[in-house]
Structure 1
Amino acid sequence: MKKILALLLIAGFMGCSKPQGFEYRSIRNFKIDKLGFDKTSVSLELVYFNPNNFGVALKHIDCDVYVDHIFVGKYLLDTTMQIPKKAEFYIPSKMDVDMKNLYKNTLNAIFATDVLLELRGNTRVGKAGIFVNVPFNYSTRQKLDFF
């Protein structure tokens, strides 16, 4: 009986794996809500993929956003979302962009066809009421479609 109990405990621990971080895919529905010299309000949807073999609850996101290595703003989300297993999902996002930092790279941005977009931070994900912090560091080239 003790051997059976030990095998069940080992199988249970092996089945409970730590959630993997989400994979960044792209941005969609980018919109400028309010244009300003100091700050500009933007809204967009971030597209991610859940590589886990199980659905998880996303409880919190806290990240810094960089364009071409220049800090442009902070994004916070404090809404619980249910994320299905092995599926793409969208996170609606609104943030204020610090325009002073973007002005430093204006000339490069005008002539560039894409920019380096970086998201660095933490997210809180879990299942069955047990949540863990999962750090992330996404970096991708984002195509600009101004013209």
Structure 2
Amino acid sequence: MRFMLLALLCCVFFACKKPQGFEYRDVQNFSIDSLGFDRSTISMNLVYFNPNNFGVDLKHVDCDVYINHNFLGKYTLDTTMHIAKRSEFSLPSKVQVDMRNVYRNSLNVLFSNEVQVDVTGNTRVGKAGFFVNVPFKYSGKHQLSLF
């Protein structure tokens, strides 16, 4: 009986694979919810792809957003959602923006047609009640057309 239990535990242990990080795809429905001198709020849907061959549950997202290597704001998502295997999904996102950092770099952004966007953080993903932290990092240049 102990041998059967040990064999079953070994099978479960070796069958479990740590989830891969999600791949960034696109930003959709970008809007400014509130505009202020100290803080502003922006909303968007972030589109990602789940490269795993199994569905996962996303429990928590915590990341820092940088524009041209300057801190823009922090994004946190505290909801649980199921993500199907090898599929695209959209995360509704709201970011509180520290406007002092935006003002500091506004001339740079106005005279440039593209900005460097960097996002670093952690997600908590899992399956069947077992969750692990998966770090992620995104860096890319995006076209910015103000006029």
TM-score, scaled relative to structure 2: 0.90
Residue aligning to 1:26: 26
1:136 is the counterpart of 2:136? yes
Question: 4+ residue runs of structure 1 moved beyond 3 angstroms?
Answer: 3-14
| Partner in structure 1 of residue 111 of structure 2 | 111
SS in 2 for 1:109: helix
Residue identity opposite 1:50 in structure 2: N
Residue in structure 2 matched with residue 81 of structure 1 by the alignment: 81
**Residues 39-118 of structure 1 aligned to structure 2 (within 5 Å):** 39-118=39-118
TM-superposition CA deviations, 1:35-68 (whole Å, max 9, x none): 1111111100111110100010000011111101
Q: Which runs of 5 or more structure 1 residues have no equivalent in the other structure?
A: none
Counterpart-to-counterpart distance in 1, 2:123 and 2:8: 31
CA distance in 2, matches of 1:7, 1:145: 60
Q: How does the TM-score come out when normalised to structure 1?
A: 0.90
Question: In the aligned structure 2, how far is the partner of 1:90 from the partner of 1:25?
Answer: 10
Query: 1:4-44: CA deviations, max 9, x gaps?
Result: 98877665444311000111112111101111111111100
Q: For 1:85 and 1:63, locate their aligned partners in 2 and report how far apart those are by CA, in whole Å.
A: 23
Unaligned runs of 5+ in 2: none
**3-state SS of 2:40 partner:** strand
What RMSD, in angstroms, separates the aligned Cα atoms of the two structures? 2.0
Identity %: 60
Which letter does structure 2 place at the counterpart of 1:89? F
The one-letter amino acid paired with 1:112 is S
Which AA in structure 1 matches 2:80? T
Aligned residues: 147
Give the C-alpha shift of residue 146 in structure 1: 2.3
